[in-house]
Amino acid sequence: MLGHYFFYHSLDGQPTPDADYNIWGDSFSVSGQQGNIGIGSLFALLVKTMLGLAIVTALDQVTWRQIREEPTKVATVDDVLSIPTALFSLANLKLWRRYPQAILTGIILWLLSIISVIAPATLTVRSTSYSETSAERVPHVDFASLKLARFGKSENGVSFGGDILSIIPPFPNSSWHLDFDGPALDYHNLDQSFRNKIIENVKVNNNCSDGTVYGYLSWVRTAYDWEGQFHQVTVPDTIVPFDKDTGTLQTVTLGPAYASSDYGTAPLTLYVAAFPGMLKRTYAYKYWDEDNCPKPSTFVANLDKINGEYLNTAEARMNAQYKLNSLSYQAILDAPGRVLVGTIGLAQRRMPAGVMSAPIITHGLNMTDTTVMSTVIASASELAFLSSYIQDNGPVDPAGGLSTTVRSIAERSLPELIEEVFENITLSMMSSDSLQFNYSSRLAPDNVPVTTTQIVNLYSFSKSVLWITYGVALLLTLGVGGVGLHAHVSSHGSYTTKFSTIFRTTRGATLSTSIEATDENGQDPLPMYIAKSTIALAGATGADSNDGVVSGASGSDRRRLPSHAAEQRESDE
């Protein structure tokens, strides 16, 4: 018991071994953990064996004392002597009535086998974690370079999936906190008067009056190229918040060209009364490696606005970090613009009339040079109504003129969704190896404290369970030993179930019936007439009554006689 305790105590809190031990070459090996569990099981087996020997010895004393006290049936003697080896003998109710001490001792002996199960199980393996923090390089984005001009993986992945791309940490199961300055979009709603002018313009156009309808209004600064396809578009200054000479009113963004004459691709009326502004903000996020994704927190600062940079070599100072950052931010700003392009028009499908039916006109979407409906932006509440036209047969009578806003599940507006996509694109750029800092540069950031969490398997020893198991077993063994000692004293000696003991104790025994010559070989099964016969050992009460029993014979000349022979023997005496 003490050896088992000290062995398990030495393993408590220690990591489980990973080494394997070859027993017979590579064909058979045992791991260190298997070896430790095997040693613990061996200790439990030794304890169980030693206590079992003590209980069996006590059981022998109790059994022989009771057998020698009075005559007993042969079958009963077989059952009581087989208690240590035959579990079903404990179910014999006759033994419970006549040999209660032997039955209780046998139950304790059989319950002792539980030690071999509980004791080894007191050593278990549990998983625990510990953390270490060190300064390491973490994924970052080098905004102070010209690398952003050719990035594309982040924008495509985020635009279509909507989530931040996976970032490879410096170590598995690591986390860190990082603050950095980066670009952000900030949409401003138009004033109500301008919104009213747009709505009025839509109404005028629907009444076939002089007006201009735009599927989507977006103002994108372009070069002064008057040879493009939109240079002839006349935009009255009264309905736009900017002068046409400072930029081009792009009607290709989510809307068909203005001068379309194809009735089958009439423009959808869709507008967002908001204009984006670009800010430089401080991103603060924490990274956990459980789901391999950064967790951006709320912006903690709104900084200065970004102004455009003229590529005039005489004035530009391209080595200035803020100018490089500005160009990088504008490259990121162009990412959503590459998605929000093309046209989405309303297409009519006319099915010819049948014999008994009129012509059927259905409506659908005619999408040209745009993938916006395949991106997460399509889930915006302003674009939700377009999903009904993607089906083969859309609404027969679409809303004329003004846009129809359908309540979406997410309840996210288009400006909010674009802002979020832009934010996720900025964070997802950390997943690109080509956008990382050159750490030999003076602009490289300092290392960041990274906390690495390791999961290890440790041994755990339940001391109380082991001592309770061994303690109960030891107390029961001592109790049984006391009963066996009492039987030893009462019998004036010790008995076992060895053949020599059985041979000597049955030399003077008497049997209530004779044994046929064919049954003297002792083979199983036991004949029924012998099982029901009564045997009385020498010195037992009633052993010398000679009531149908012949006694006094010794050696090989001693024979069991039938009842009539016994009566003749008595008359002769």
Give the SS3 label for residue 25. Answer: helix
Give the C-alpha distances (Å, rounded to integers) separating 542 from 67, 372, 511, 537.
13, 109, 12, 9
* 3-state SS assignment for residue 102: helix
- The tokens describing 509, both together, are 């025994």
Helix (H, G, I), strand (E, B) or coil at 346: strand
Neighbouring-strand partners of residue 183:
280
3 state DSSP class of 263? coil
267 preceded by cis ω (within 30°)?
no
Q: Supply φ then ψ for residue 52, to 5 degrees.
A: -65, -40
What residue type is assigned to position 505 of the chain? T
| CA R_g for the chain | 49
Alpha-carbon distance of 4 to 24, in angstroms, equals 28
List, as own/partner pairs, every contact residues 319-325 make where C-beta atoms lie below 8 angstroms and the sequence separation is at least 24, other chains included.
321/144, 321/443, 324/143, 324/144, 324/145, 324/146, 325/143, 325/144, 325/181, 325/280
List the one residue out of 64, 66, 132, 122 whose CA is nearest residue 94.
Answer: 66
Q: How far apart, in whole angstroms, are the C-alpha atoms of residue 193 and residue 90?
A: 99
Closest CA to 269 of 220, 206, 348, 219: 206
Residue 225's alpha-carbon distances to 189, 205, 233, 342, in angstroms, are: 29, 28, 13, 19
Q: Any idea where the domains of the chain sit in the sequence?
A: 1-123+460-536, 184-394+414-440
- Phi, psi (rounded to 5 degrees) for 305: -75, 155
pLDDT (tens place) for every residue of the chain, 573 residues total: 888 888 888 888 888 887 776 666 666 667 788 888 888 889 988 998 899 899 888 888 888 888 888 888 888 888 888 888 888 888 888 888 888 888 888 888 888 888 888 888 888 888 888 888 999 998 888 888 777 766 655 566 666 667 777 788 888 888 888 888 888 877 777 667 766 766 666 666 656 555 554 444 444 443 333 343 333 444 444 444 433 333 333 333 333 343 344 444 444 444 555 666 667 777 777 776 555 455 554 444 454 555 555 555 545 554 455 567 777 777 777 767 777 777 776 666 666 666 566 666 666 777 777 778 888 888 887 777 777 666 544 444 444 444 444 444 557 788 888 888 888 888 888 888 888 888 888 878 889 999 888 888 888 999 988 999 898 989 988 988 888 888 888 878 888 888 888 888 888 788 888 888 888 888 888 888 888 888 888 765 555 444 444 443 333 344 443 443 333 333 333
Instruction: Please state the pTM of the whole predicted model.
Output: 0.53
User: Minimal CA–CA distance to 535: which of 520, 513, 557?
Assistant: 513
- H or E segment at 42? helix 32-69
- How far is the C-alpha of 56 from the C-alpha of 106, rounded, in Å? 8
Query: How far from 397 is each of 61, 362, 389, 524, CA to CA, in Å?
Result: 104, 8, 11, 98
* β-sheet with 360-368: strand ranges across: 265-267, 343-351, 360-368
Question: Can you read off the two tokens belonging to residue 60?
Answer: 């022998």
Give which of 296, 291, 292, 295 is closest to 169, Cα–Cα: 292
